[in-house]
Structure 1
Amino acid sequence: MDLSIVVPLINEDESLPELCSWIESVVTQNGFSYEVILVDDGSTDNSWDFIEKKGRENANFKGIKFQRNYGKSAALNEGFKASKGDVIITMDADMQDSPDEIPELYRMIRHEGFDMVSGWKKKRYDNALTKNLPSKLFNAAARWSSGIQLHDFNCGLKSYRRKVVKSIEVYGEMHRYIPILAKWSGFRKIGEKVVEHRPRKYGVTKFGWQRFVNGFLDLATIMFLGKFGKRPMQFFGLLGTLFFIIGFVSSAYLIAAKFVTEDFSLTNRPSFYIALTTMIIGMQLFLTGFIAELVTRNAPERNSYLIEARSGMQL
């Protein structure tokens, strides 16, 4: 199968008929063998009724329905697991992503050799304060921390080589940082394409300020797991050792000063208590590293690694 199109959605019964008709027209004109996976993230409107109806009309349209709302990342993760195409394209269901971008996104994966291509909504129609400003902050933080020079990490319109989506797990709010997950999984050829951003035609935005905070927390999680997920002692142990040494040296200096100077009082000096606290924090961080190592060593996937190819071996 050439193409899988994964569309996460919640309460989009107004936009789905037009979106599905448009997708169907584009893929038919380009002669793709395809499937469209519509993931209903706990809709309370008639979205699922339409998905079932569309599936009866065209077997290429398939649906997954969550019992409740889990979020966009969960919807994408389930869509990725179900996808069978050589190229996987994701897009939002609110009609702000144009299906006309599908052929070029497909071509960049199949013929230019990209592992994934992220859309860039260079001209946006969102509210500047509630969406554009948070988006700029997210993108700047993601570029700085990951080294991936994309303008729009959060664009829902992306295309992937099949192996990419089968190698990553998306949860929380991590759909914003799929390029980073892909990079940590060893996929380095990440491209970008300017795509059309259309004004919202149906419904209301699902964006909230809570996602703004959660997005930064998930970014910190990704960066930590990517670097220290299989060796947490190297992070906590290093910090713990530094804190302990600083506290120990400071305490030793103050204690030595006590013996040299007769009127020197340790208990009246805040620096002494700060030094002791620093030593305690250092020991706690060190013990955290040990505990994290024990958890990691006993995890079922502790020795699970992504292997690209084998030669001359039978499994």
Structure 2
Amino acid sequence: MSVIVPAYNEAEKLPKTLKRFQEYLFQQAYSYEIIVVNDGARDNTADVVRNMERDIKNLRFIDRKKNMGKGYTVREGMLAAYGRIRLFADADNATDISHFDKMRPFFDKGFDAVICSRDPKDALGAKQAVAQAWWKRALGNMGNLYIQWMAVPGIWDTQCGFKAFRDYAAEKIFSATKINRWAFDVEVLALAKRFGYKIGIIPANWVNDPRSSVKFMAYFHTLWEVFKIRRLLNKLKI
């Protein structure tokens, strides 16, 4: 199994998250690797990860100096991974790594991808430990209706940063992605559906950091990228 962690200015959060990942994965019967991909961080993310390489088994570090966006960063990690199952998870561990326990039965049943959702309309029991600001909830709800109409019908939360794929699905999907920033999750799920992959959804217990760095305008950039995804899908010959 491969766990990919995109990192941009995450020096403060990574030590706790990587130790938690190691604690969980070390107890499993399968082999694993943890891949941290530096997205041109301006803080000392690189120093923190290199120091932890001595203590954490199978920790790999891709140290890119230029910021290219989360979509580019996850793609880079997914295509560099060796695992038969490849999971990407956010650096703050807002969706705890133990959620993978609920994903495994889906893979055992033949699913090609399994995602976490924070919306109970996707999976009963999904919840957010810390309520988001009202404007984030409002924009998120309106944005999701647009996303479903344009690209990913039937999924109410496309943006939760905890998604896993079989190796063949990860290779095919991420090799085809073009979106480098906020809406990459939408493109990934749209391609998974277009390629005919079977997608499972589990409920997230999302313990988010109220100091989130997502800015107001990021929502509008995401919607613009969704429009570009629709155009890319229209050009895709499958």
Q: TM-score, normalised by structure 2?
A: 0.86
Provide the rounded CA distance (Å) in 2 between the counterparts of 1:51 and 1:161: 26
Q: Structure 2 matches for 1:206-245, cutoff 5 A?
A: 206-229=213-236
Provide the rounded CA distance (Å) in 2 between the counterparts of 1:153 and 1:84: 25
Structure 1 residue 23, shift from structure 2 partner: 0.8
**Are residue 179 (structure 1) and residue 189 (structure 2) matched?**
yes
Q: Tell whether the 8 Å contact from 2:88 to 2:161 is kept in structure 1 after alignment.
A: yes
**Are residue 191 (structure 1) and residue 200 (structure 2) matched?**
yes
Structure 1 residue 207, shift from structure 2 partner: 0.9
**Are residue 81 (structure 1) and residue 79 (structure 2) matched?**
yes
Provide the rounded CA distance (Å) in 2 between the counterparts of 1:200 and 1:35: 26
Q: Tell whether the 8 Å contact from 2:11 to 2:44 is kept in structure 1 after alignment.
A: yes
Q: Structure 2 matches for 1:1-315, cutoff 5 A?
A: 3-109=1-107, 111-121=108-118, 122-124=126-128, 125-146=130-151, 148-168=153-173, 169-173=177-181, 174-177=183-186, 178-184=188-194, 186-200=195-209, 204-229=211-236
Q: Relative contact order (C-alpha < 8 Å, sep 6+): which is higher?
A: 2
One-letter amino acid of the structure 2 residue matched with residue 182 of structure 1:
A
Provide the rounded CA distance (Å) in 1 between the counterparts of 2:101 and 2:55: 24
SS at match of 1:93: coil
Instruction: Name the one with the larger strand percent.
Output: 2
Deviations 1:70-124 (CA, angstroms, capped at 9, x unpaired): 2111111101111110111111012312111123223422x02111112112322
Q: TM-score, normalised by structure 1?
A: 0.66
Q: Cα RMSD over matched residues?
A: 2.0
- Which of structure 1's runs of 4+ aligned residues deviate more than 3 A? none
**% identity of equivalent residues:** 25
Provide the rounded CA distance (Å) in 2 between the counterparts of 1:138 and 1:183: 19
Instruction: Name the one with the larger helix percent.
Output: 1
Unaligned runs of 5+ in 1: 231-304, 306-315
Task: Report how many residues are paired.
Answer: 225
Q: Tell whether the 8 Å contact from 1:76 to 1:170 is kept in structure 2 after alignment.
A: no
Provide the rounded CA distance (Å) in 2 between the counterparts of 1:143 and 1:62: 36
